[in-house]
Every structure is written in C-alpha cells, then in structure tokens.
Amino acid sequence: MFSKISMAIKLLILTQKIDRNDPILGFFHRWVEEFAKQCESVIVICLQKGEYDLPKNVCVLSLGKELEIGNWKLEIVKKFIYVMNFYRYIWRERKNYDAVFVHMNPIYAVFGGILWRTWGKHIGLWYTHRSVDTKLCIAATLAHHIFTASRESFRLPKRKLHILGHGIDVEKFVCPGERKKITADPFMIIHVGRITPIKNIDILVEAAALLKAESNRRFRIVLVGEPATASDRTYKEMLLALIDKLGVSDLIVWEGSVSNSHIGEYYCGSDMSVNLAPTGGVDKAVLESMAAGTPVIAANRAFRDYFGKYADRLLYEERAPRDLAQKIQDLMKSTDLEAISTSLARQAQKKASVDVLVGNIIHLLVKEN
C-alpha cells in the first residue's frame, strides 16, 4: 500500500540509543531495520551507540555518550559536545534527508525544529508517555505530525495527533514448537521491565504474600530487569525490605538484565506475565507477552481493546494487590489458558506488527499537510 511512496523518502531518525542488545531500548534496532526496508535511505542520529547490524542504506551517527568521562566538569563539556555534534550532523546531512522522525526525545525537535521547518523537512514526533512538560509542548508545536500508541499515551490535545498502536517484531516472540509452559508446576509468573517506582512492583510483592497465604498452588515470580537511576536503586532496596518483611523471598527470583535478543525465551518459559504500570503508554512488554502467547495481567486500561473478550479477566484495579492476587489465582485455576494464549497471540499479530506501524508513519510523513 505504501511501497511506491515509501521507497522514495530519505529519512532522518533521532533516538536515544542504537544497540540491539540493550534490554530496554534494543527493540528500536528492529524499527530501524523496518524503516530501512521502506525508505531509500536512513540516517540515525543517536545519543549513544552500541552493537548494531543494520542494512547498507542506514548510516548511524552518535553524539558520543558511549565515550566515558567521569569528572563532572568534563561531563558539562561533554553535553556541550553533544549539542555541537547534533547541529553539525543535521547541517552536514541536510541534503540527504527529506523528513525527520524524532523518537521519544522531544528535546531533539526543540533544538532542530525551526531549522528543519525552514529547510522544508516534515517532522514527525513519536511519544508514548503520560508525562507532559515544556519540552514536549514546544516539540509538539514544531512537529507536523505526532504519533502515539493510544489515547492515554499522549496527554496534549492536538489535531495533528495520530494514534497508531505500538510495533514489535511479533515473529521474534513466537514460541518455537509447543510451549514449554502453561499450567506447569510451579506456576511461573514473569515481570519484564526496569525496576522503577512507576512499574509498581511493590503491588506484585504484596499480591504474592496474599497468594502464599490463600492459594494451594505452587508458584514463582521472576523479575527481569534492573534499576537505571539512583531513585530506581532506592526503590529496589525498598522492594527487598518489603519482600523480607512479607516473607516471600522464597517465591521471588531476581533475574537481572536480559538482552533484547533473549527476552523471548523468558516469555515462552512462563505461564503468565504481569505488567503493573498505570494507564498511559502502550508498554511493549505486554505486547511481547501476547506475541509469545503468554497470558498477561495488566493495570493499563489502554490494553482493553488488545485483550478483547478476555479484558475483564486480564485487567486489574491499579495499585490494588487484593484484586491482582485474585486475578492471578483465577487464571491459575482456569481451564482455558490455551484459548487465552491463542487469542492474545492473534491480537498481537493483528495490532502490534512493526512493519505495519512503520509503513503508517512513513505514509503520514510524506503526506501533504
């Protein structure tokens, strides 16, 4: 549908990191691959680069964060260098791109928006987060198009807003052969995501204590992810204290960071996943679980359409450990987990494919305003 239009475009992408193994941002490597398939050429400007393997029509330019500097005074100099590199790259390459796609970092649109508009470049901003600040307001004003995953994931009223759903490499998460789990003993529950307060993992710990006291079913909870900031590390310490206080240390396994290329194995080896983030952006961890056919319980109401007829059984009341424990226990006892698994996998195929998402983004970027 978009191929003739798409292949003619030369695209500039701005993002935080290009690293296919990064446990949080590694998914975007697949997005760039898909943009490369549907564009004549792609230039990526990122704050930091790691390991990547991209098509020949992709050029990756790093602002240089991967160059470690420890002294705080040098850090200030380093940030100045980032900005200088940013302007150097967008000026030097200005004849090599027709449109700009800013991914989750509105500051890029703030810095470059006026220049890009002056040069006649269409600007698209992808943003999926409940937070709103001055940078986002300015970036949204400068962008020609704003892309987001759900109504809840972009809180500014804009006529230029396009709700497109999210995009993952669905095939990557399809479990090979027959699933190893589903109603095995112990019942395995997985949580995938950064260890940070917004993820509400403390509610899962409290629910685990309730399940331990009230359920006869053996279960384990595997936490995949690491804290990234000082406040995250403080939150993890609080979780450890809570786990000890509630006496559930024997039920919780800290798996730590898992590379993006291996995370599918964890979904396929689990009976259920849990996502406790509040209503807002469409968390790709939920979509990954769905693609793997692993039933998932979530707090985020944005997933009601994704869960279809099973929504009332898979959505729990936000920050309510009693309701979460009940929903988990109900699924433990369920006789139709296979049917739920099949339905969720089909919904992921239908609504979360990265190739469809990228095609829609490109189509809108080249469309006349």
Q: In the prediction, which pLDDT does 2 show?
A: 46
Between CA 217 and CA 211 the distance in angstroms is 9
* pTM score: 0.89
Residues 6+ apart with CB under 8 A from 54: 18, 29, 32, 33, 36, 60
Task: Give me the number of domains the chain comprises.
Answer: 2
> Are 106 and 69 part of one and the same domain?
yes
Phi/psi for 45 (5° steps) reads -105, 120
315: domain CATH number is 3.40.50.2000
**How many distinct helices (H) and strands (E) make up the chain?**
15, 12
Using DSSP, state whether 195 is helix, strand or coil.
coil
- One domain for residues 216 and 242: yes
Same domain, yes or no: 110 and 199: no
131 and 204 together in one domain: no
All residue ranges of the chain with pLDDT < 50 are 1-5, 182, 368-369
Which residues are bridge partners to 223 per DSSP? 191, 254
User: 339 with 201, same domain?
Assistant: yes
Q: Cis omega before residue 186 (within 30°)?
A: yes
Q: What are phi and psi of 89, to 5 degrees?
A: -70, -45
Domain that holds residue 81: 3-167+353-366
Residue 326 CB coordination number (10 Å): 17
Cβ neighbours for 118, distance < 8 A, ≥ 6 positions apart: none
Element (H, E) at 147: strand 145-148
pLDDT value at position 4?
44
Pair 205, 130 in one domain: no
Q: Which two tokens stand for residue 47?
A: 């704050």
Full strand arrangement of the beta sheet holding 296-298? 252-256, 219-224, 187-192, 272-275, 296-298
Residue 42's beta-bridge partner residues? Answer: 11, 58
Q: Give the model confidence (pLDDT) of 92-135 as tens digits.
A: 999 999 999 999 999 999 999 999 999 999 999 999 988 899 99
Element spanning 119, H or E: none
Look at residues 41, 45, 48, 32 and name the one whose alpha carbon lies nearest to residue 9.
41
- Together in a domain, 297 and 196: yes
Same domain, 257 and 220: yes
pLDDT recorded at residue 369: 43
Is there a single domain that holds both residue 97 and residue 243?
Answer: no
Tens of pLDDT along 165-183?
A: 999 999 999 998 765 554 5
CA angle (166, 227, 147) in 5-degree steps: 20
Q: Both 7 and 63 in a single domain?
A: yes
- Regarding whether 200 and 73 lie in a shared domain, the answer is no
pLDDT of the residue at 262:
93
Tens digit of each residue's pLDDT (9 = 90 or more) over 348-365: 999 999 999 999 999 999
> β-strand 272-275 against 296-298: which pairing, if any?
parallel
Same domain, 185 and 52: no
Q: What does the pLDDT read at residue 281?
A: 80
**Alpha-carbon distance 41 to 303, whole Å?**
34
